[in-house]
Amino acid sequence: MCLDHVREFNAGYNFFAGMSTDEIEAAQRPTAAWERETRAFAHSGGDAPPRWSDFADPLDAIQGRFGQVRQPDRKDGKPLSAADRRALKVLGLDADADRKALRSHYSELVRKFHPDRNGGDRGHEAALQEVITAYQQLKGAAAFA
């Protein structure tokens, strides 16, 4: 609707049309909505923990509320996202690997899966692509900065 039509509609609209004085006063009283039943926000007597798990919470402000204090993924306390954990699994590294270990293990896997090292066999091309993608993910991750 254009602005002129909206103004025309609003000018002709009256919420209280057809109501008696008592009905109008009942609708305008401050506690009018309190009589309606509302949905419960929580079930089983408490808040459910958040359904997402891939967020950085260094002060345990969110997890601490729900009694599920998450242990740091790394000894140095740097956070790992779910994508970082998947990439570490693809590369076969543990969570505490450093940048040097990341680079050396990446080089080793590239040499292992590269077609030039396998006599031109392209059978390992998908594995090579996974290794490259995982390395790109971890290279830019905060844990390896």
Residues 126 and 132: their CA atoms lie apart, in Å, by 10
Calculate the average pLDDT of the chain.
Answer: 80
Residue 104 is predicted with a pLDDT of 92
Distance of CA 11 to the CA centre of its chain: 45
Average pLDDT in the 43-67 region? 61
Between CA 141 and CA 73 the distance in angstroms is: 13
Residues of the chain with CATH 1.10.287.110: 72-144
Mean pLDDT across 26-44: 70
What topology is assigned to 72-144 in CATH?
Answer: Helix Hairpins (1.10.287)
Confidence (pTM)? 0.51
Instruction: Please report the pLDDT score of residue 116 as a whole number.
Output: 83
Q: What's the whole-number mean pLDDT along residues 72-101?
A: 86
